Amino acid sequence: MSPAVVARELSYSYGEHVAVDGISVDVAPGEILGFLGPNGAGKSTTIKMLTGQMQPDGGTVEVLGLPMRSQRTAIQQRIGVCFEEKNLYLSMSAAENLRFFARLFGIAGFDPTSLLDRVGLADRAGDRVSEYSKGMRQRLMMARTLVNQPDVLFLDEPTDGLDPVSARRIRELVRDEASRGAAVLLTTHDMMEADDLSDRVAFVNEGRILAVDTPERLKLSHGNRSLRVRLRGSDGAVGEQVVDLDDPQIAGAMSEALSSGDVLTVHSEEATLEDIFVHFAGRGLDG
């Protein structure tokens, strides 16, 4: 299956500052690609080039097999973009917001009810958005992103600052859309979210992609294949034992470790995405 998004050697500078420096990335239909990096890494600028908001200084973008440079409007007809800013029309209701965007996409007879129901806002459809909480506005942003049943979704920090319930609802929506076959490019600096949602993650720092792979492969290749067991001995002292998972005698080693005292905790020593990012970038995701 050909990729839904293909970017090659994208570059963009704000004056002297190089924001994006040769980024190449593919996203397949039905795939969620997590774009992971700290603020200022170049994620949002890349998204702007992939969605036709900006012309790259160099490189090419193809979305759904169409070149962005010459087919921007045709591409924008088939993509959905969820911005980090809650850029909704506050003086209009949720239903009016969705109807307006549906008309821009040329969708006749659009009924916002089912979409608002999906994001849990059907009962507040007629209320002005200015009366909505932050979580409700973000859910409406997601609903707006889905108005045209897009083949590609660009989601910029879609759960940033949300309460756990709203964040979970949005993650479910993202998974549903990927299951439907939409390609999803998700930018975030929340490594837990990236780990939870993404089929692959791309680490972005200083305008470059440092690594791209599945979260599992990254964690396995950069972590220790071992278990750390914390125990309380018969004398009451707390100690630790490390069990090597590649040890041919692992069963015996494990049994010995577990029988040498009261087991307090057992942890695998696989790396987190944050550890791996630090390994590549030399800085954390919050930096």
Partner 1 sequence: MRPAVVSTIVGKDLREFRADRFFLLITGLSLVFYPLIFWLLPSTVDETLRVGVVQRGLDRVVAAVSDGSDGLAVVELSDQATLEEALLSADADLVAGLVFPDDLVADAAAGAPAQVSLLITADVAPEVETALAALANEVALLALGEPPPTNLLSEPVVLGEDQVGDQVSLREQLRPLLAFFVLMTETFALATLVAAEVQTRTVTAVLVTPATRADFLAAKGVVGTAVAFTEAAVIMALIGGFATGAPILVVTLLLGAALVTGIGMVAGSFGRDFMTVLFTSILVMIPLMIPAFSALFPGTAAAWVQVLPTYGFVQTLVEVTTAGAGWADVSAELMLLAGWTLAAFIGGWVILGRRVATL
Considering the complex, what minimum distance in angstroms separates the CB of residue 158 from partner 1?
14
- Residue for token digits 């979970």? 168
What type of residue is 120? G
Identified binder of partner 1 from the candidate list 91, 114, 179, 259, rule CB under 8 A: 91
Identified binder of partner 1 from the candidate list 44, 45, 76, 166, rule CB under 8 A: 76
- Look at residue 171 and give its three-state secondary structure: helix
Determine the Cα–Cα distance for residues 129 and 37; give it in Å rounded to an integer: 31
Considering the complex, what minimum distance in angstroms separates the CB of residue 106 from partner 1?
7
Q: What is the CA radius of gyration of the chain?
A: 23
- Residue for token digits 């970017």? 7
Determine the Cα–Cα distance for residues 53 and 269; give it in Å rounded to an integer: 42
Determine the Cα–Cα distance for residues 29 and 2; give it in Å rounded to an integer: 8
Q: Is residue 264 involved in binding partner 1 (CB under 8 A)?
A: no
Considering the complex, what minimum distance in angstroms separates the CB of residue 222 from partner 1?
36
Q: Is residue 66 involved in binding partner 1 (CB under 8 A)?
A: no
By CB under 8 A, what part of segment 116-175 binds partner 1?
A: 128, 144, 148
Which of 102-110, 215-223, 243-251, 273-281 is the region at the interface with partner 1 (rule: CB under 8 A)?
102-110
x/- binding map, residues 2-41, to partner 1, per CB under 8 A? ----------------------------------------
Helix axes of 164-180 and 134-145: crossing angle, nearest 10 degrees: 10
Determine the Cα–Cα distance for residues 214 and 235; give it in Å rounded to an integer: 44
Determine the Cα–Cα distance for residues 137 and 266; give it in Å rounded to an integer: 41
Angle (nearest 5°) at CA 69 between 144 and 175: 35
Nearer CB in complex with partner 1: 90/242 = 90
Q: Is residue 71 involved in binding partner 1 (CB under 8 A)?
A: no
Nearer CB in complex with partner 1: 151/195 = 151
x/- binding map, residues 45-64, to partner 1, per CB under 8 A? ------xxx-----------
Which of 16-24, 84-92, 118-126, 227-235 is the region at the interface with partner 1 (rule: CB under 8 A)?
84-92
Q: Is residue 70 involved in binding partner 1 (CB under 8 A)?
A: no
Which of 22-30, 91-99, 162-170, 192-200 is the region at the interface with partner 1 (rule: CB under 8 A)?
91-99
Residue 92 to residues 2, 83, 85, 112, 124: CA-CA distances in angstroms? 40, 18, 17, 14, 12
DSSP 178-197: HHHT-EEEEEES-HHHHHHH
Tell me which residues touch partner 1 (CB under 8 A): 51-53, 73, 76-77, 79, 81, 83, 85, 87-92, 96, 100-101, 103-106, 128, 144, 148
